[in-house]
């Protein structure tokens, strides 16, 4: 195998319990996002755009859709003769085997995968966030500071800081303390769950960690604190820009609404940093004479006979005559009949909303209504 300076390990095994029905049959990274993408497209595109072409994708929970979606990585230009994308599920060996017990254990189990490439550095990322980031710049800083680990951090509002892993840093941004979800946060530098490690240092730590029966085998809880204890230099890499965990129904909906702002904090229309996705090959969408679309994102293959305002339509969605869709996210191939009203809802892929049905409430303070995949909702059922 050809040596690779930096190999990315993408943790994509998350169940995403808080996404409720959306993750019944899907791993969280495979959840549709942004009218065209799946959440994992953002990290895979970041890798591709950052020039990191060797990516191990660690899967565990409901991997079928994810496996077939990633394929050989050609959608992200990651089908390479050297490196490329490799899906790494948990496996058995002669001495037994096990599920991935934690994030660090998942990498530990795949040391042999990494060793093939004899890497200098390993980038550890997850497929749970929506953001655009050039990992090459982070790697540059990692080399300059001669760190053993670099953790990407973002400033969060101090009142929300207790939801994150919070870093204390000295004047050079060297991390002095790491606290997972502190009750009394000392500052607002939150870990983004993006790490670059110097491989030989990490490898030793992973082996030690695996032998510790008390460890939860987690980067945030075990590996980073242990490295801090033994005075390994760890630096913070400050990221400015949009970064959103879309792990709950609320945050998934909010992130979609962020895309619809007049001056969006996160734009998909960026030819210099394209987000790649598997292409469903649909014709341009059709807005009928009776249709009206405002403040929305609409993908190819849609047919719109009704009114769509401030919403995101994924590919292949049909919106019937007299229907009104507002503040909603309609996932691929959902079929919305005639005279349907949908307010503040997420409609799962392939779901049919029959003529005259009503979903959600126009009340601004209403909760988000979530309808899972491949459901049939009749007009008899009023969902609010």
Residues that bind other proteins (CB under 8 A): 34-36, 74, 262, 268-269, 274-277, 279, 281-289, 291-300, 303, 312-314
The smaller minimum CB distance to other proteins, of residues 80 and 174, is found at: 80
The smaller minimum CB distance to other proteins, of residues 211 and 289, is found at: 289
Beta strands at 189-198 and 292-294: parallel, antiparallel or unpaired:
unpaired
Shortest reach from residue 68's CB to other proteins, in Å: 16
CA-to-CA dists, residue 245 to 43, 130, 192, 240, angstroms: 12, 7, 9, 15
36 three-class SS: coil
Shortest reach from residue 34's CB to other proteins, in Å: 7
The smaller minimum CB distance to other proteins, of residues 163 and 282, is found at: 282
Give the whole-angstrom CA distance, residue 307 versus residue 148: 54
Shortest reach from residue 269's CB to other proteins, in Å: 6
The smaller minimum CB distance to other proteins, of residues 176 and 294, is found at: 294
The smaller minimum CB distance to other proteins, of residues 167 and 293, is found at: 293
Q: Which secondary-structure segment (H or E) carries 253?
A: helix 249-259
Shortest reach from residue 84's CB to other proteins, in Å: 15
The smaller minimum CB distance to other proteins, of residues 24 and 68, is found at: 68
Could you give the angle at the alpha carbon of 185 between the alpha carbons of 180 and 190, nearest 5°?
60
289 Cβ contact partners less than 8 Å away, ≥ 6 residues apart: none
In contact, 379 and 342? CB cutoff 8 Å: no
Shortest reach from residue 262's CB to other proteins, in Å: 7
The smaller minimum CB distance to other proteins, of residues 180 and 270, is found at: 270
Shortest reach from residue 125's CB to other proteins, in Å: 21
Shortest reach from residue 33's CB to other proteins, in Å: 11
373 Cβ contact partners less than 8 Å away, ≥ 6 residues apart: 21, 22, 24, 25, 331, 348, 349, 350, 351
Give the whole-angstrom CA distance, residue 137 versus residue 285: 38
**Residue 143 corresponds to which tokens in the numbers above?**
């080399």
Give the whole-angstrom CA distance, residue 259 versus residue 92: 43
């Amino acid at each position: 195998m050809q040596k690779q300076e930096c190999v990315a390990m993408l943790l994509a095994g998350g169940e995403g319990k808080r996404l409720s029905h959306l993750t019944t049959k899907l791993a969280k990274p495979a959840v549709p996002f942004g009218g065209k993408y799946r959440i994992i497209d953002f990290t895979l595109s970041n890798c591709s755009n950052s020039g990191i072409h060797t990516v191990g994708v660690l899967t565990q929970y409901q991997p079928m859709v994810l496996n077939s979606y990633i394929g050989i990585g050609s959608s992200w230009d990651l089908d390479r003769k050297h490196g490329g994308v490799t899906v790494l599920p948990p496996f058995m060996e002669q001495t037994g085997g096990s599920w991935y017990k934690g994030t660090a254990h998942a990498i530990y189990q795949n040391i042999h995968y990494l060793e093939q490439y004899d890497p200098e550095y390993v980038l550890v990322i997850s497929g749970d966030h929506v953001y655009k980031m050039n990992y090459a710049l982070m790697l540059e800083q990692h080399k300059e500071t001669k760190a053993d680990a670099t953790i990407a951090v973002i400033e969060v509002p101090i009142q929300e800081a207790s939801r994150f892993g919070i870093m204390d840093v000295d004047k050079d941004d060297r991390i002095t303390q790491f606290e997972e979800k502190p009750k009394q946060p000392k500052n607002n530098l939150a870990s983004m769950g993006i790490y670059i490690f110097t491989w030989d240092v990490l490898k030793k730590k992973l082996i030690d960690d695996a032998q510790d029966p008390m460890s939860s085998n987690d980067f945030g809880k075990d590996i980073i604190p242990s490295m801090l204890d033994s005075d390994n230099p760890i630096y913070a890499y400050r990221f400015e820009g949009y970064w959103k965990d879309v792990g709950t129904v609320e945050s998934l909906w909010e992130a979609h609404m962020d895309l619809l702002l007049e001056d969006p904090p996160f734009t998909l229309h960026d030819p210099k940093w394209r987000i790649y996705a598997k292409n469903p090959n649909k014709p341009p969408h059709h807005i009928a004479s009776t249709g009206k679309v405002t403040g929305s994102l609409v993908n190819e293959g849609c047919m719109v006979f009704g009114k769509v305002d401030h919403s995101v339509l994924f590919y292949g969605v049909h919106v019937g005559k007299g229907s009104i869709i507002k503040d909603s996210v309609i996932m691929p191939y959902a079929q919305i009949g005639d005279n349907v009203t949908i307010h503040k809802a997420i409609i799962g892929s392939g779901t049919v909303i029959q003529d005259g049905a009503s979903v959600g409430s126009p009340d601004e303070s209403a909760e988000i209504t979530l309808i899972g995949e491949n459901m049939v909702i009749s007009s008899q059922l009023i969902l609010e």
